[in-house]
Structure 1
């Protein structure tokens, strides 16, 4: 007997559901695609029981199985808490019972509904993470995330198991992940197990859903930024499924009609497809395809009064991901996952005028990975795997600017336009290999451990490293767990990670680059006050060394001279919906500290934020009306102040001064100043209704509801006699809707 177990709510496949033939010792467990298979069933009539934590139990009576027959049975399970005598609620990993099954400290998980309805996130996958503790963002204009003092280049981002770099649209304004196909996002802010390598700070894993196996579906989702169409349905009579989505900005199509001829507003479009098909009782193939394109064109006219030069800019970017996954589950206690992935990215940039810059980027990567999970006994679960990546990159920059303008750049600024940087090019390839083994060990009823060892090698720096990892969870009481983690973490310097932070060094000038290193120490206490209230505290320390920094901050020569420390404490209080509760939400507070030190300088990291507070609340008035709010507060980020100016002397051939009309700044201590505190209130109202016989959902959202003028940065006139403030987003009303056909 075989079949699938899916959610009644969204028809998503359910992993880990138990299927039992009552009155026998025969049964099975569903895999990632919700598929189960039970072999060697004697002919007869059975009552088949389906169950999964967090879902109501379902029993199908009188299921007839004939001799030689492969009986197909697919069921839908309804989300519903399961009540037991000793533990009132059992849902999933995020529950009192699941509390003692999760060994990772500080892990955060968000479901599609939370991503799409979080006020202020604009239905953006990465922006939704800003509401959880330990995650900061440098500005409203970027979807990049900084986790516990680490940079965005130090985050390992996985999309359906494949390593992804720079998953952004429109220069980082919007994340490339389509929320309409995301099944779950999981953030591990530190202390991650041996399966994950080549990053110093955090792991962000995005899991995309498969298409419906029940029937054809077509729906549309439209926001103020973009519109998307989703088509999904079954293949081969339910043995497989497909889902295809397309998304595009539309505001640019409207604004370009009234813009000047040589101006094109930033745009993007992307296409995503996922096909899954069962090859038999134990095998499934999944094919994933993703393609995106974006660009803009801009003309800045000369303004002599404000000393603004004339400039033309245009940019065109293409990227794609193709992946093939084979899942093999020959036995309930054994699963093997194999994956091949190909990624490419092309970009061309051109700027003309008083400044001249041309750039070209062409890169692609082949990746192979495989992992095997074997439940060896009730006490031991083994996780073994390996990965290989071959990356080729070619890019060049040509930059021409007056020396006076180059001198104005802030020391330590990560940019290809650094002093004395006129031209730059790179054409090369790198190979990286990693292998790991870990064991999840149930030492006792109270203690759960996961220990592992990882080996990595990269020919870019020709260095091999071993990374031991340890995670511990100890059950203090029925609803209380103490968790800790430590380990060594390494990250290889290469141009893929350099480009994430906009740093393009001359690696040829230093042939002795080494792998960067970090040690994590984490301790957390999690307690359920009741079925719906949870309190969690976390303490963390990241000690980083051998960081690649720019020699003397201005040379573009990379050296392993950086040392950094990031430490902090977090408090998280959550109110979950339970039974007929109408109110849910959380409060997250972070006390953080991050500082970078080199032999020639010491300064706070650009996202060092001493205090951060996030409040999220949602109130479900009835079946068709929901109100939500998010309020965020953060103490000021550091920046480098201008403390004076000095004239730029233009000399003739005799050494006499002929021009003193230009000025250059005198910079203070690196990141010695602080911007004012940031705070913002976002409001959202969501409506669910039926219209024209179709289910609709619409929302109205107000970003920065009380129009707080948060500071993004400061700019100066050419003589540095006046300072202007560039603000973050003002009050912005937005709207959107979705409809399922």
Structure 2
């Protein structure tokens, strides 16, 4: 693909000017007639043809409903009109509207299907039954619907991790990492109720915001069916159709960004399907290690795809298949002005090396597939059984000379993980007061870790004693297993009090063998129709991630420029914790909600990860003890034309004594942490997010902001980085474009005040190179429904 960097401005500037002109020249509100088209179930209907007629039968305008069922007529004179709506497979619908100089009331047209709606009714019932398999009693839930994502400045082009940053207690980090409630990562992703097995971590976002109909972030002390990764459970309800049509979208702008995408779906008989694909390329694939506006050597190309197919076998049984794919290529950005080690320069036989000319690269792949059978037995038992598989890989290619003279080692690293498993969940409604839930999870994983490193031989004093040579260290760990069972009862003790209690049993056999019985208890008390309290306790068992180093690696590098600072390498253990959560939510008005939530987590073998080698791949380790606590405040307001939210979290994450993978740390750090409680490197005292969206004269204006008081830095994380704020602005509008029909234009400005801020400065426990947040960028988009 030819480079488009120089031409990007020429492509997008006229489009931006035209879009700004369209927004500025928008007709007055008095000339707009707006409304929605829906089926008999209340679900929006896209691609419905609408005709605006005068009392004498003249056509005054034509329009087509979008994916949300919305339509608009502009430029009509005040008067009385009839609106006719038509869509294949549905009867014609009509509505009468009176347009005055002040505008017209919103119109809703319901189209009755010419065919029976049993299929839609059955699918909707099964969707509700699937939701019933995953109760959210006792913990905290933050919901983001498709319209909330569309209301962000970048809309569905917003990366998945940036969408989650709008939730309370979610702290931003480099390389796309997120930290929820003071935990390092520890996030679990579920697609339509099925756990997505974790893989090797990389830079790319394998999940796409486009295919999400709704995203729920669950935190706190959760019910018994949630295990393993529990700092936050991300439940994704996917789109299942696109109402007999699709969407083409072209988005791009600053730093050579081009991001085309397509969505398409339909329902044919008992079969419903939805597919989406996107491609992204830009010159800022990874966070810049300098404060400059344009990174050096930071090109990326990323492609994503997702598909959903659902077949209704009978009114109570559905077979669903889902698949996803991701491929990413990354240049590793360079930090100019770095000084190479003189002894390494001499050993490599070069006079010098310009650090801005380094050529490190990384490639990532991610594939997953899920086959799920959902059904009911009688009126009281619902179940879903799913088979899943996932493959991920990361390949890091060094600069063979540059990395050697700067780091003393040039390592080509390949890591892969292949997982296959089974998940089953069931719900049995015993009576009006008790609902029993049970389930199982089992998976097996094969891991491959290859490392080919060029190093110098050195003596006891660290002096280079010969020419560089290569050490091959290839390891595999196959047959890793993870199994879990749970049983719980949701008891409606009174009309106001619901109690959820249960027990979970987990067993793992990988680099270590371990297991645990974990009780859970959650209470929800609805004091008034407007006020709800919740309290919960959970015992958690968290297996270590799969990016582990084999113990024999250490001995191979003795006497080289890549030798470990010490030879201690105790195995990484699973984390065990007690989690307590207490909160309240209150509905001040039908549109205005507020909430507060406090939490405390007491941990043994606290899991953390760090970047210890030259490759930007993370490796896990344990602290002997940990304690995490904090409080979250949330508020949201939503009407038809205006919405706003604000979140503030205060969190403390402390740990003591490193007890595994000790060879990654200097001895003075190990000694200090052994006798002192320290802040974990991902600890951020204050985290906040806020956003607003307002529709005026047919254009939706939006803004969002994130704030962080700064992640940790310095020796043993004893300091923290400066605080920062990033503000983003956006606007989008639907408009008629002649024969092209309805188009939607979007403009977004990221970091509008061009605030320069540093996420990492290269210091701290397990922290590698410095990384800065994004500089100001202008992005434009144009989409078309078809």
What TM-score do the two structures reach when normalised by structure 2?
A: 0.68
Q: Does 1:704 align with 2:751?
A: yes
Q: Corresponding residue for 2:519?
A: 468
Q: Corresponding residue for 1:569?
A: 631
Q: Corresponding residue for 1:29?
A: none
Deviation at 1:367, TM superposition (A): 1.2
Deviations 1:319-369 (A, max 9, x none): 211111111124343211010011112333221113211112232110101
Equivalent pair of 2:641/2:695 in contact (CA under 8 Å): yes
Deviation at 1:318, TM superposition (A): 2.2
Q: Does 1:157 align with 2:232?
A: no
In structure 2, relative to structure 1, the CA distance for the partners of 1:442 and 1:278 (3 Å cut) is same
- Number of corresponding residues: 592
Deviation at 1:455, TM superposition (A): 0.6
Deviation at 1:400, TM superposition (A): 3.7
Q: Distance in 1 between matches of 2:676 and 2:755?
A: 34
Q: Distance in 1 between matches of 2:339 and 2:692?
A: 49
In structure 2, relative to structure 1, the CA distance for the partners of 1:426 and 1:57 (3 Å cut) is same
Equivalent pair of 1:607/1:638 in contact (CA under 8 Å): yes
Match of 2:682 among 607, 621, 624: 607
User: Cα RMSD between the aligned structures?
Assistant: 3.9
Q: How does 1:99-498 map to 2 (within 5 A)?
A: 103-119=137-153, 122-139=157-174, 142-152=175-185, 154-164=186-196, 171-172=202-203, 174-212=204-242, 215-220=244-249, 222-224=251-253, 225=257, 226-235=259-268, 237=269, 239-251=270-282, 265-296=299-330, 308-309=354-355, 311-351=358-398, 352-354=400-402, 355=404, 356-401=410-455, 423=473, 425-460=475-510, 461-493=512-544, 497-498=545-546
Equivalent pair of 1:252/1:266 in contact (CA under 8 Å): yes
In structure 2, relative to structure 1, the CA distance for the partners of 1:325 and 1:441 (3 Å cut) is same
Equivalent pair of 1:227/1:247 in contact (CA under 8 Å): yes
Structure 1 residues not aligned, in runs of 5+: 13-55, 64-69, 78-91, 93-97, 254-261, 409-420, 641-668, 717-723
Q: Corresponding residue for 1:588?
A: 647
Deviation at 1:303, TM superposition (A): 7.5
In structure 2, relative to structure 1, the CA distance for the partners of 1:608 and 1:302 (3 Å cut) is closer
Match of 1:678 among 724, 728, 732: 724
Q: Corresponding residue for 2:79?
A: none
In structure 2, relative to structure 1, the CA distance for the partners of 1:630 and 1:725 (3 Å cut) is same
Deviations 1:498-528 (A, max 9, x none): 43xxx64639987876431111111001111
Q: Distance in 2 between matches of 1:186 and 1:403?
A: 53
Equivalent pair of 2:249/2:781 in contact (CA under 8 Å): no
Q: Corresponding residue for 1:17?
A: none
Equivalent pair of 2:136/2:222 in contact (CA under 8 Å): no
Q: Distance in 2 between matches of 1:304 and 1:376?
A: 68
Q: Which has more helix, going by share of residues?
A: 2
Q: Distance in 2 between matches of 1:185 and 1:334?
A: 26
Q: Does 1:629 align with 2:703?
A: yes
What TM-score do the two structures reach when normalised by structure 1?
A: 0.72
Deviation at 1:263, TM superposition (A): 7.7
In structure 2, relative to structure 1, the CA distance for the partners of 1:155 and 1:301 (3 Å cut) is closer
Q: How does 1:14-93 map to 2 (within 5 A)?
A: 73=118
Equivalent pair of 2:199/2:391 in contact (CA under 8 Å): no
Q: Distance in 1 between matches of 2:337 and 2:138?
A: 57
Equivalent pair of 2:475/2:550 in contact (CA under 8 Å): no
Deviation at 1:446, TM superposition (A): 1.0
Q: Distance in 2 between matches of 1:387 and 1:304?
A: 49
Q: Distance in 2 between matches of 1:378 and 1:530?
A: 31
Greater relative contact order (Cα < 8 A, sep 6+): 2
Deviation at 1:74, TM superposition (A): 6.0
Equivalent pair of 2:216/2:235 in contact (CA under 8 Å): yes
Deviation at 1:305, TM superposition (A): 8.6
Q: Distance in 1 between matches of 2:317 and 2:499?
A: 30
Deviations 1:585-623 (A, max 9, x none): 11111111111111355321122221222221111114x
Equivalent pair of 1:126/1:145 in contact (CA under 8 Å): yes
Structure 2 residues not aligned, in runs of 5+: 1-38, 48-107, 123-127, 285-295, 341-352, 405-409, 463-470, 554-567, 658-673, 764-768
Equivalent pair of 1:568/1:592 in contact (CA under 8 Å): yes
Deviations 1:682-701 (A, max 9, x none): 11111122223533222111
Deviation at 1:107, TM superposition (A): 0.8
Deviation at 1:480, TM superposition (A): 0.5
In structure 2, relative to structure 1, the CA distance for the partners of 1:232 and 1:390 (3 Å cut) is same
Q: Which has more strand, going by share of residues?
A: 1
Equivalent pair of 1:606/1:638 in contact (CA under 8 Å): yes
In structure 2, relative to structure 1, the CA distance for the partners of 1:347 and 1:105 (3 Å cut) is closer
Deviation at 1:159, TM superposition (A): 2.6
